[in-house]
Every structure is written in structure tokens, then in C-alpha cells.
Amino acid sequence: MNWSIAEVARMSNVTSRTLRHYDEIGLLPPAGIGSNGHRYYAEADLLRLQQILLMRELGLGLREIREVLDSQRDQVAVLREHHRRLLGERSRLETLARTVARTIADLEKKDEGNEDMTVQINRPENLFEGFEPSRYEAEVEAEVRERWPAAWEQSRRAAEGMSAQDTEAWQREVTAQLIRMAELMVAGAPADDPAVQAEVAHHYQGVCRFWTPNKAAYEGLAQRYVDDPQMRGNFEKIAEGLAEYLSAAMRVYAGAELS
């Protein structure tokens, strides 16, 4: 039995655009292409897609995934390795859950007027226990380097010029801005609302600290926020639907300000 690209997108929650990209780079060629030009996938292709998604969840880049899949390794052995890594990921997520629960408890104490907040809040590293941003940063850097080499060089120089204190301050600033965006989303503000666009302008200026994207590049970044499981997951940790909301607002900004 074969399935159309639309059916595969629906059952896997992978966009048709991403499936076409996987085909273009040779990662997931369809079993066949109909006379109408539509891609059709067989059962073996679905199993390969499962492998791709598993490895994406585990933080592997597309090139590394293709190398693993093309190495003709025993499928059961590969699945056993995935299973081992998933158990490790479960442990990491449990640590993240404890981190978030601790932060919630601290903030609730603060809201109740409890001034005795010295134990946890004065240890900012507690806020980041369990996070592993390096799992996806390397892939993002590789893509920017390939598509926009001048931008990558500009970003590299800017990052190297930041001290540890600068980096921590920047991380806190980004988190605070995403929380403000989440609050606007929950309040029902549309993507083109002036308050939302003001936050996106702030976001764009933050990106420009590292590289200066044009309209197409900023729209590409907006799409990546939605398509990349790791990046999307980090937004979803703040609020469900935030990746799509920020992406839509960025597209509005790009169309109005970067044309």
C-alpha cells in the first residue's frame, strides 16, 4: 500500500514542505511519483521516516541521520540504540520537569509576598538545570554557514566577543521577551497587533546583534521555529502554540519592514 504526501504529513505531523525537503536532499525519497507529480510513500518509507524523527528527537542533524540510515546497519540494532538514548532523554526530561516545578514554587512564594527567596532564586543555574541548547545549536550554525556565509562569519565574531556575563544577560533577555510574546498570545492579540510587532522589532534587533537577516532570511528563520522539532519544543516549553504565533508575527514584520 502507498500513501500520498498529504496522508503522510497528516499521520506523522511532518509538513509536506519538510517531506519535500527530505526528498530533495536524498534523505527520504518517495517510493514513486504519480502522473500528477505527487509523491507516494510505501511502508518502508514510513519506517525510514520514523527513524528520521527518532533521531531528530535525539538531536542528530540531517547529515548525520542520512549517514546512519545509509550505512545499512541492522534495523533492530539501530532501534535498540534509539531506545537506549530515549531512556536517557526521559531522565533528562524528568530533570527539566523538576527544574520547572521548582521555579513555579519559587515564583508562587514571591507572589505571596514571601521575601525569603534567597535559597533558590539567588542560584540562577537552578533555572537552567536539564537544558541542553548545544543539542541543536550546531545544526543551526551549520545551516546558516552554508546558506549565508557572510552572516555566519558576522555571527561568529559577535558571539566570540561576548563574555559569560553578556551571554547570561542575553539569555535572560530572550526568555523575558518570549514570555511577553506568550502573554500577548494568551490575551488574543493578533500577529499584526502593534504591541506584538513592537516585540518582534525587538526580536529582530536581537538577531541583528549576531547577523542581519534580509526579508527572505528572516522568514526562513520564522519557518525554522515551526519546522525544527528542537527549536519548536523550546518555544512550547514556554507556551503551547508560541512557535506558530511568533513565526506568524515575524512574517508580518518581514513583509512590512524588510521588503
Shared domain for 117 and 220, answered yes or no, is: no
Q: Which residues on neighbouring strands pair with residue 4, listed in sequence order?
A: 40
8 A C-beta contact, residue 69 and residue 28 = no
Shared domain for 165 and 122, answered yes or no, is: no
What would you report as the CA-atom Rg of the chain, rounded to the nearest whole angstrom? 21
Spatial CB neighbours of 79, under 8 Å, sequence gap ≥ 6 = none
Give the C-alpha separation, 32 to 185, whole Å.
42
pLDDT number for residue 248: 95
Shared domain for 110 and 142, answered yes or no, is: no
Shared domain for 49 and 108, answered yes or no, is: no
8 A C-beta contact, residue 41 and residue 3 = yes
Shared domain for 189 and 211, answered yes or no, is: yes
pLDDT number for residue 61: 76
Query: C-alpha grid cell for residue 164?
Result: 559569560
Shared domain for 58 and 154, answered yes or no, is: no
Last residue of a domain, one of 88, 110, 132: 132
Domain holding 8: CATH number?
1.10.1660.10
Shared domain for 60 and 120, answered yes or no, is: no
Q: One digit per residue, pLDDT tens: the chain, 259 residues?
A: 889 999 999 999 888 888 999 999 899 999 999 888 889 999 889 988 988 888 787 667 788 788 778 776 666 777 777 777 777 777 767 776 776 777 677 667 655 655 544 434 444 444 445 444 444 444 555 555 566 566 556 666 666 666 767 667 777 788 888 888 888 998 899 999 999 999 999 999 888 877 788 898 889 889 988 888 878 887 887 888 899 999 999 999 999 999 7
8 A C-beta contact, residue 246 and residue 206 = no
Shared domain for 240 and 177, answered yes or no, is: yes
pLDDT number for residue 19: 92
Backbone angles phi, psi at 26, to 5 degrees: 80, 10
Last residue of a domain, one of 70, 87, 104: 70
pLDDT number for residue 72: 62
Shared domain for 180 and 155, answered yes or no, is: yes
Q: Which residues on neighbouring strands pair with residue 32, listed in sequence order?
A: 40
Helix (H, G, I), strand (E, B) or coil at 40: strand
8 A C-beta contact, residue 45 and residue 28 = yes
Last residue of a domain, one of 93, 114, 132: 132
pLDDT number for residue 120: 40
8 A C-beta contact, residue 74 and residue 47 = no
pLDDT number for residue 128: 45
Q: How many domains does the chain have?
A: 3
Shared domain for 37 and 48, answered yes or no, is: yes
Shared domain for 248 and 157, answered yes or no, is: yes
Model pLDDT for residues 194-220, shown as the tens digit of each residue: 999 999 999 998 888 777 888 988 898
Q: Which helix (H) or strand (E) holds 66?
A: helix 62-70
Domain holding 147: CATH number?
1.10.490.50
The parent domain of residue 151 ranges over 133-257
Q: Which helix (H) or strand (E) holds 221?
A: helix 215-227
Shared domain for 137 and 251, answered yes or no, is: yes
